[in-house]
A and B are shown apart, each in its own frame.
Chain A
Amino acid sequence: MIKGKAPAMVQRSALKRRTFLRGIGTAAIGLPFLDAMSPAFAASTAPAAPVRMAFFYVPNGMIMDAWDLNYEGKFQELPRTLKAMEPFKDDMIQIGNLTHNTGRALLDGAGDHGRCSGSYLTGVQVKKSLVDIKSSVSFDQIVAGEIGGKTRFPSLELGMEDARQAGDCDSGYSCAYTNNLAWKSDTQPLPPTLNPRALFERLFGTGQPMTPEQRERQAMTRRSILDFVMDDTHKLESNLGPTDRRKLDEYLSSIREVETQIQAAEKDTRQVDPGMDKPYGIPADFGDHFKLMSDMIAIAFQSDLTRVVTFLMTREGSLRPYHELGIPDGHHPLTHHRNQPELMEKVRRINEYHVQQFAGFVKKMKESKEGDRSLLDNSMIVYGAGLSDGNAHLHEDLPTLMVGRGGNYFKPGRRILARRETPMCNLFLTMMDRMGVNVDHFGDSTGRLNCLDLG
């Protein structure tokens, strides 16, 4: 848990009424990042090229024999699952032995899938409950809360698999824990955007250009409407029970978030050219869907629309079959392979396939130039899973791949091993440092992960 000021507080204090809502939903004549942004940054203390961070989460663990290496140090032959990353060997670090103790049962019995997903970015053991959900602010949201004001969107939550609505997603854990990675508060998960079109319109506008007058009018309207509902809510809140009030507080804090976004949009009136057509709906093919989403992440990073992204590729317990690979069985049932070779092979192929998609995104990041560096050099892209062995539900030695140099800070091209039982949260602390957010403790961290740079 973060010490000192809570992120929610940060936003409240940053909240200014009477904001002007220009910029939201505008479209398209583009400029590359540096030139466009330098004025916007004149005031701020941020470096010319900021550091971006993203998490790409894959569920149900991996077949570790195809992921792990039996050596430390410089990469030689890459393991099978990572083959597609060969071209980016020198841009990545494979980190071994990181552990999420809070994903373990401890005293809560069955439910490792629900738990590991819930604790992955929050570093706490989530409450085992179907409706009375209780987690903690995820570290990406702490970062978003601190530096989010500098970009149009404090953070983006993306995904590719529609949320499960079963209610019980794993032995008594609410689906809220597996449907979402990012948590804005103890009780407020941030649902991922799945539809490429929705993401496109959020980032780049509806495509119908607006005249300055139209924009101004829309701004005034929205502003007065937000004022109106705020007053309404405050009137309502009097004389309510605590739970009812909590619901309205979620509503209020969401309105405030929209307002702060609008403030950012006001500072940054650029019109970003996505350089791609507006997508229609959700492609059936996994690869097509992933490409659309990840292309937009790269564009959002390059044009500094946001610096924090969490991407839930599919969720824990995912039953998705991979017809793309001729695999009709659901992913989760397959991972309980009980060491049957043919089942394990299918899982390996799914693991490989996921990484192949990811490699496409890394390529795009590496090809985007930013000054004399690549966008990738200025990023920390973590590709990881909340379980190592999905069959045994192990929470140690979590598969973790750090791609990019975090602003020429990391020394990539190698595999490093943390000591066993080292909390994943130690990595989070180090990443928060790189993002310019200093907290002394997060989740169950025991210190920073210091071996990423020249260590």
Chain B
Amino acid sequence: MAAVLAAGFIAVDRAATPAAPAVDTAGFNASVKPIVSGTCEQCHNASIKSGDLNLVPYLDPATVASDRATWELIASKVESGEMPPSGVARPPQEKMTALVKYLRGEFARADAAVKPDPGRVTAKRLNRNEYTNTIRDLLAVDFRADKNFPTDDSGYGFDNIADILTVSPVLMEKYLEAAETISARALGADPLPKKPLEQTCDLSTKTLRRLDYSTVEASQRIDYDGDYNILFKFPGERGADAKPVTMGFYMDGQLLKSMQVETKPSNLVAFNPQSNGEMTVFLPEGDHVFRAAFLNDDFVAQFTSDRDAYSDKKNKWIGAITFVGPYPTKVERASRKKILICDPATGDACVQKIVSQFAHRAYRRPVTPAEVASLMKFVAMAKSQGQTTEQGIQLAIEATLVSPEFLFRIERDPNPTDPEKVHRISDVELATRLSYFLWSSMPDDELLSVAEAGKLHDPAVLSAQVDRMMKDPKAEAFADNFAGQWLEVRNLDFITPDAKTFPQWNAELKEEFRTETRLFFQYVLTENRPITDFINGRYTFLNEGLAKFYGISGVKGPDFRKVDLTTDERGGVLSQGSVLAVSSYPNRTSPTIRGKYILSNILGTPPPPPPPDVPPLDVSKVGTDVSLRQQLEAHRANPVCASCHAKMDVLGFGLENYNGIGKWRTTDGKFPIDVGGTMPDGASFHTAAEMRSVLLADMPQFAHCLTEKLMTYALGRGMEAYDARAMDDIDKALAADNYKFQTLIHQVVTSLPFQSRRGELVSNKQSTGEKPKEIAQR
């Protein structure tokens, strides 16, 4: 329920569930009421509302049924020992245990009485990643929706939540334009300019940015698919004994090509020595970020000042990049092969075939003759305007790409407005759910044909498909989009570490962080490792640069490979640079943010907002008069703060050995790092490694957290009260199979909410936004 709780109470659509059994009032008055009114209410009352929670209304037993979410929260807080916080007179333990026991009992009774409810998923438009990938798989066209469309809003930490994916006029315009360019590019219909164009980015005009002494970056628009000659200028020269370096040329973080660059004096020119380089690459249309870097360029380590680094007597660097093109590319466009499955010249039968086959794949389902006919109108229209058949096909494609059948994933209900009617979704709908879950893209031909043959709901077939899909390279999207958001690695693009505080931070490191976590996640998935590896895997994925940064020797070269961890310094995602960097401030660590990160993403118990009038915490003194730790401990002397910070800060401090960008350290300013801490439930640790063990000890909680995140991502909706049962079943099955990650995936795919849906209670969803108990002047 974490998401629900984090959100405060999301109106639960209990439509499909009969009235729960009456709450055991006697038990409530015996084991709950005295504690709530005697202890909890001191802070959780109308005037203080610690954690935004007023418990006075919850002295009514009925609320155990009517507001399950809040009682779940209470139960978990008491169980974990977080509540009541230290500093508050604490009732005897057996009383607390009795309270939890009573609540859990009531929940179980309620669930048992409730008819299973799959909930329903709203019609979902493709988000930017899904659009990009779908175009890639549908047409083999490289189109970057994230560069062209407005950012998708997200909910529950994921950007594929149906309810919040809206369509705006601006987006509609973009869909139209995109359909035009994509269809044109797919058929290669857009003519290249007669003469190749030339664009130069250099340091003098600031069109080329220096990232460090060996790396430059340029944002460059490429207007046409095609081959381009890339010309490099290398000003300066290094010592006579200087070794040649390898220069890598990247587009949007992807290595395109690399070349050797001689750095020692050419002895050809006396003044302003400079050499050139050239390479030819295919570049797709779009706004791109290009980067050129001398890889593992130890030579520049000696430089302390720009003056030396950019003196053409002392050093050689990358001074300018020139793009010359486009030239017609030698390679025949894959997109044409995908579309022109026969020769349109042979007549309408073939054109018909082409159009219907395309619509079939674009709509991710069989198409009706009527649909094909309405698309064929465009071919006719083109002809009537004296255009070619191919241009007609291009029009039909253009139209298909703005159709709601393509842009939205819509599942049909026999009884759209009857919440009582639960039905299994069709095999074809299941195929689409599956492919967007694991690939963030459309089903491939095999998946679709299995589904259309009506075999996909067969457990054996389904399981085989899931196995196949997890192995497919396209599953990288699952790492990028699920792990990228679950572990917040995506935020690497938004953080801006302070260059002075963290000189090692640069674009390369950022990409290496990203790659490490992605490869790690993919490994756990494809090798079917237990999810415990996320907490304390004894291996990770490194290249030379990242290994150096981590202080791990023996890794050579730019390629990443699996490296076993021999020391206790690192293990699991919580010790990976990506996670540590995104959970810090630009210029220092924040144990609170890191603690919140662990609570939210590992333990699934995000902290509530702070109470009113939080007393000031003088961070200005930190590092000088007192350590941050002393500061926060003083802060925690107050029980209202302690209630959350006791756990949050202890966990956060467990990671203090890693600085603001994840480098290992033993002191902070002039203070030695003190990692040790004791959790509210008494478990204590002295090192980051021991903390990981403490987290491992509570495997079920982490497993449940991951289950919930996966379900949210897989379904594209938040978890509601009625999903508790499905998730509990998954948790059990997962634990029974030693927490194997693939088991978790299979369990999600076979769960009731993933396989079924129901009608919608009309009244309930027409939420007016007015407060349930208050009328607002609207």
Q: Give chain A's interface residues, CB within 8 Å of chain B.
A: 1, 25, 106-111, 124-136, 157, 162-163, 165-168, 171-172, 174-176, 179, 184, 186-193, 195, 197-198, 202, 217-218, 220-222, 224-225, 228-229, 231-233, 236, 239-244, 247-248, 250-251, 254-255, 257-258, 261, 280-282, 284, 319-321, 323, 328-330, 333, 338-340, 342-343, 444
- 1/0 contact string of B655-692 vs chain A (CB within 8 Å): 00000000000000000000000000000000000000
- 1/0 contact string of B387-413 vs chain A (CB within 8 Å): 000000001001100111101101011
Residues of B within 8 A of A188 (CB): 166-168
> Is the CB–CB distance between B760 and A242 below 8 Å?
yes
The docked-state distance in angstroms from the alpha carbon of A36 to that of B600 is 58
- 1/0 contact string of B738-778 vs chain A (CB within 8 Å): 00000000000000000000011010011111010010111
Given A174-B155, A229-B404, A254-B169, 13 additional A-B pairs, CB 8 A: A131-B161, A131-B164, A176-B164, A188-B168, A190-B170, A191-B151, A225-B398, A248-B404, A248-B408, A254-B168, A280-B219, A281-B287, A328-B496
Q: Is the CB of B259 closer than 8 A to any CB of chain A?
A: no
The docked-state distance in angstroms from the alpha carbon of A332 to that of B499 is 20
Interface residues of B in 303-328 (CB under 8 A from A): none
- A162 smallest CB distance to B (angstroms): 6
12 CB-based A-B contacts, threshold 8 Å: A109-B52, A131-B718, A134-B768, A191-B150, A242-B766, A247-B123, A247-B408, A261-B173, A282-B219, A319-B494, A330-B586, A343-B620
Q: Is the CB of B159 closer than 8 A to any CB of chain A?
A: yes
Q: A166-B157, A328-B498, A338-B616 are in contact. Are A258 and B169 (CB under 8 A)?
A: yes
- A261 smallest CB distance to B (angstroms): 8
> Is the CB–CB distance between B154 and A165 below 8 Å?
yes
The docked-state distance in angstroms from the alpha carbon of A61 to that of B401 is 43
- 1/0 contact string of B469-508 vs chain A (CB within 8 Å): 0000000000000000100001000101011110000000
Residues of B within 8 A of A239 (CB): 412-413, 416
- 1/0 contact string of B150-178 vs chain A (CB within 8 Å): 11111111110111101111111100110
Q: A172-B7, A197-B221 are in contact. Are A241 and B609 (CB under 8 A)?
A: no
Shortest Cβ distance from A208 into B: residue: B223
Shortest Cβ distance from B164 into A: residue: A131
**Which of these, A109, A198, A231, A254, contacts B172 with CB under 8 Å?**
A254
Shortest Cβ distance from B411 into A: residue: A244
**Which of these, B122, B404, B774, contacts A232 with CB under 8 Å?**
B404
**Which of these, B169, B485, B494, contacts A162 with CB under 8 Å?**
B494
Q: A167-B157, A175-B153, A197-B287 are in contact. Are A329 and B586 (CB under 8 A)?
A: yes
> Is the CB–CB distance between A189 and B168 below 8 Å?
yes
**Which of these, A163, A220, A240, A320, contacts B123 with CB under 8 Å?**
A240
> Is the CB–CB distance between B123 and A131 below 8 Å?
no
**Which of these, B177, B402, B485, B586, contacts A321 with CB under 8 Å?**
B586
> Is the CB–CB distance between B417 and A241 below 8 Å?
yes
Residues of B within 8 A of A189 (CB): 153, 166, 168
> Is the CB–CB distance between B500 and A328 below 8 Å?
yes
Q: Is the CB of B148 closer than 8 A to any CB of chain A?
A: yes
Shortest Cβ distance from B600 into A: residue: A168
Shortest Cβ distance from B606 into A: residue: A168
- Chain B interface residue number, banded: 35 or more
> Is the CB–CB distance between A236 and B769 below 8 Å?
no
Q: A232-B404, A240-B123, A250-B167 are in contact. Are A281 and B219 (CB under 8 A)?
A: yes
Residues of A within 8 A of B219 (CB): 280-282
> Is the CB–CB distance between B410 and A244 below 8 Å?
yes
Residues of B within 8 A of A232 (CB): 403-405
> Is the CB–CB distance between A109 and B122 below 8 Å?
no
Mostly, the B contact residues are loop
> Is the CB–CB distance between A217 and B287 below 8 Å?
no
> Is the CB–CB distance between A251 and B172 below 8 Å?
yes
> Is the CB–CB distance between B620 and A333 below 8 Å?
no
> Is the CB–CB distance between B404 and A157 below 8 Å?
no
**Which of these, A106, A162, A228, contacts B399 with CB under 8 Å?**
A228
The docked-state distance in angstroms from the alpha carbon of A296 to that of B424 is 52
Q: Is the CB of B58 closer than 8 A to any CB of chain A?
A: no
> Is the CB–CB distance between B585 and A132 below 8 Å?
no
The docked-state distance in angstroms from the alpha carbon of A93 to that of B538 is 64
Q: Is the CB of B185 closer than 8 A to any CB of chain A?
A: no
> Is the CB–CB distance between B416 and A241 below 8 Å?
yes
Q: A236-B410, A241-B413 are in contact. Are A254 and B585 (CB under 8 A)?
A: no
> Is the CB–CB distance between A134 and B609 below 8 Å?
no
> Is the CB–CB distance between B164 and A110 below 8 Å?
no
Shortest Cβ distance from A239 into B: residue: B416
> Is the CB–CB distance between B610 and A198 below 8 Å?
no
> Is the CB–CB distance between A255 and B617 below 8 Å?
no
The docked-state distance in angstroms from the alpha carbon of A157 to that of B385 is 37
Q: Is the CB of B433 closer than 8 A to any CB of chain A?
A: no
> Is the CB–CB distance between B776 and A125 below 8 Å?
yes
Q: Is the CB of B98 closer than 8 A to any CB of chain A?
A: no
- A189 smallest CB distance to B (angstroms): 7
Q: Is the CB of B267 closer than 8 A to any CB of chain A?
A: no
Q: A228-B399, A231-B374 are in contact. Are A134 and B170 (CB under 8 A)?
A: no
Q: A109-B52, A328-B500 are in contact. Are A243 and B760 (CB under 8 A)?
A: yes
> Is the CB–CB distance between A244 and B416 below 8 Å?
yes
Q: A130-B718, A217-B385, A257-B172 are in contact. Are A167 and B403 (CB under 8 A)?
A: no
Shortest Cβ distance from A171 into B: residue: B609
> Is the CB–CB distance between A168 and B157 below 8 Å?
yes
> Is the CB–CB distance between A172 and B176 below 8 Å?
no
**Which of these, B156, B378, B408, contacts A167 with CB under 8 Å?**
B156
**Which of these, B11, B120, B163, contacts A241 with CB under 8 Å?**
B120
Shortest Cβ distance from A111 into B: residue: B609
Q: Is the CB of B49 closer than 8 A to any CB of chain A?
A: yes
The docked-state distance in angstroms from the alpha carbon of A224 to that of B589 is 57
Residues of A within 8 A of B164 (CB): 130-131, 133, 174, 176
> Is the CB–CB distance between B154 and A166 below 8 Å?
yes
> Is the CB–CB distance between B176 and A258 below 8 Å?
yes
Interface residues of B in 606-646 (CB under 8 A from A): 609-610, 616-618, 620
Q: Is the CB of B10 closer than 8 A to any CB of chain A?
A: yes
Which of B11, B122, B378, B490: most chain A Cβ within 10 A?
B122
Residues of A within 8 A of B610 (CB): 110
The docked-state distance in angstroms from the alpha carbon of A241 to that of B411 is 10
> Is the CB–CB distance between A240 and B416 below 8 Å?
yes
- A170 smallest CB distance to B (angstroms): 9
The docked-state distance in angstroms from the alpha carbon of A451 to that of B616 is 40
Q: Is the CB of B345 closer than 8 A to any CB of chain A?
A: no
> Is the CB–CB distance between B778 and A168 below 8 Å?
no
**Which of these, A129, A187, A233, A261, contacts B166 with CB under 8 Å?**
A187
> Is the CB–CB distance between B765 and A242 below 8 Å?
yes
> Is the CB–CB distance between B166 and A250 below 8 Å?
yes
The docked-state distance in angstroms from the alpha carbon of A323 to that of B499 is 9
Residues of A within 8 A of B172 (CB): 251, 254-255, 257-258
Q: A131-B155, A131-B161, A242-B760 are in contact. Are A254 and B7 (CB under 8 A)?
A: no
> Is the CB–CB distance between A130 and B7 below 8 Å?
yes
- A370 smallest CB distance to B (angstroms): 28
Q: Is the CB of B587 closer than 8 A to any CB of chain A?
A: yes
Which of A125, A251, A340: most chain B Cβ within 10 A?
A251
> Is the CB–CB distance between B381 and A224 below 8 Å?
yes
Shortest Cβ distance from A222 into B: residue: B176
The docked-state distance in angstroms from the alpha carbon of A343 to that of B617 is 13
> Is the CB–CB distance between B617 and A338 below 8 Å?
yes
- A151 smallest CB distance to B (angstroms): 14
Residues of A within 8 A of B410 (CB): 236, 240, 244
Q: Is the CB of B70 closer than 8 A to any CB of chain A?
A: no
The docked-state distance in angstroms from the alpha carbon of A135 to that of B769 is 8
> Is the CB–CB distance between A165 and B490 below 8 Å?
yes
The docked-state distance in angstroms from the alpha carbon of A239 to that of B609 is 41
> Is the CB–CB distance between B163 and A328 below 8 Å?
no
Shortest Cβ distance from A320 into B: residue: B496
The docked-state distance in angstroms from the alpha carbon of A257 to that of B170 is 9
Interface residues of B in 112-133 (CB under 8 A from A): 120, 122-123, 125
> Is the CB–CB distance between A251 and B167 below 8 Å?
yes
- B403 smallest CB distance to A (angstroms): 5
